[in-house]
Amino acid sequence: MKRTTFTTLALCSALLASGASFAQEEISCARGGLQRAVDLYVEAQSKGDTSGLPLATGVGYTENMAVTDIGEGLINTAMEIDHHRSLLDTDTCQTFTEVIVADEQSPYVLGTRLRVNHDRIAEIEILWTTTGYWLFDADAYLQYSSTENWDPIPAEERDSRGTLVSAANAYLDAFLEGKIDLVPWGFPCVRVEGGAYTGRGSPDDSCEVGVPSGVNIANRRFVVDEVTGSVVVFCTFGAGGPRGGSGAPDTHLFRVENGKLRYVHTITHLLQADFRRGGEGGSP
């Protein structure tokens, strides 16, 4: 009798544990639920198959800031992903994933935003670059990004959401007005731009190198992760006006530590040839 009771209790415990594990894997706006959405996206992108994604009815799909038929999107292209990191924004129910594919024949760097609605993915936005785009070098991007420390920051040392957004805005505002003294520069700070790298391994490395002025970084949207001190801005590099920048789709990803910039990553969907023809400002 005792053995039967013990076996029953053990079985019930196992089922409860299994149920708890399953519940943790449900997509939601909680941190674990957002991570589950990211995991499913990475799996789908790796396979080039969206059938495993819990998509909301009428899911919005955007590539390089243009509404696109999801059936014809890059998400259907299988990729061997070499590295990825993600931001989880529980306040706005969004995620951002930096994806690096260093395949010799078909390299890519992607910035993918998801928006979750309850237990469904309601939006997928991908900004991508590949060979021929602004400073593109997937191997270099992989080398530098994969060796950086974007680990969670201890709770007592985390900056607020407002501080992270303000740091990102101050950096992007400097492109227009040139007021670089208002940017919370950290030292060392290094920038990966398409694949170009500003660091030299020195404690006084600065992300200030090559920041232009007179370019309006417009149409800003934010995904913020206080746990990792990270914020990404979807924006356009300029408003598209004469000498005001190309207006190209762009993401700027920041890591902020103690209120100061530590890492900056940029992806710009702009053909290098178009930049040279137009002569419209970027940070070389």
Mean pLDDT, range 89-111, rounded to an integer: 98
Of the candidates 130, 163, 193, which is a domain's last residue? 130
Shared domain check, 208 and 163:
yes
d(CA 256, CA 244): 28
Apex CA 84: angle with CA 48 and CA 73, to 5°?
30
Q: Is residue 44 part of a domain?
A: yes
Q: Is residue 229 part of a domain?
A: yes
Q: For the chain, what is the domain count?
A: 2
Q: Is residue 21 part of a domain?
A: no
Q: Render pLDDT for 240-280 as a digit per residue (tens, 0 to 9).
A: 665 556 789 999 999 999 999 999 999 999 999 886 544 44
What pLDDT is stored for residue 234 in this prediction?
98
Shared domain check, 83 and 191:
no
Residue 86 domain boundaries: 31-130
Report percent pLDDT > 90 for the chain. Answer: 79
Shared domain check, 269 and 167:
yes
What pLDDT is stored for residue 282 in this prediction?
44
Of the candidates 130, 165, 186, which is a domain's last residue? 130
Q: Is residue 17 part of a domain?
A: no
What pLDDT is stored for residue 273 in this prediction?
87
Q: What is the largest CA-CA distance in the chain?
A: 85
Q: Is residue 11 part of a domain?
A: no
Shared domain check, 193 and 114:
no
Shared domain check, 262 and 171:
yes
Helices marked H in 51-160: 138-145
Helix (H, G, I), strand (E, B) or coil at 105: coil
Shared domain check, 171 and 257:
yes
Shared domain check, 107 and 50:
yes
Helix or strand run (H / E) with residue 60: strand 55-63
Q: Is residue 142 part of a domain?
A: no
Q: Is residue 141 part of a domain?
A: no
30: confidence class by pLDDT, cuts 50, 70, 90: very high
* CATH number of the CATH domain containing 236: 3.10.450.50
Shared domain check, 161 and 122:
no
What pLDDT is stored for residue 177 in this prediction?
87
Q: Is residue 51 part of a domain?
A: yes
Q: Render pLDDT for 115-174 as a digit per residue (tens, 0 to 9).
A: 999 999 999 999 999 999 999 999 999 999 999 999 999 999 999 999 999 999 999 999
Write down the pTM of the prediction: 0.88
| Look-up of token digits 């969004």 | 94
Is the pLDDT reported for residue 6 higher than 50? no
Of the candidates 130, 165, 197, which is a domain's last residue? 130
Shared domain check, 125 and 82:
yes
Residues 6+ apart with CB under 8 A from 132: 271, 272, 273
Shared domain check, 159 and 123:
no
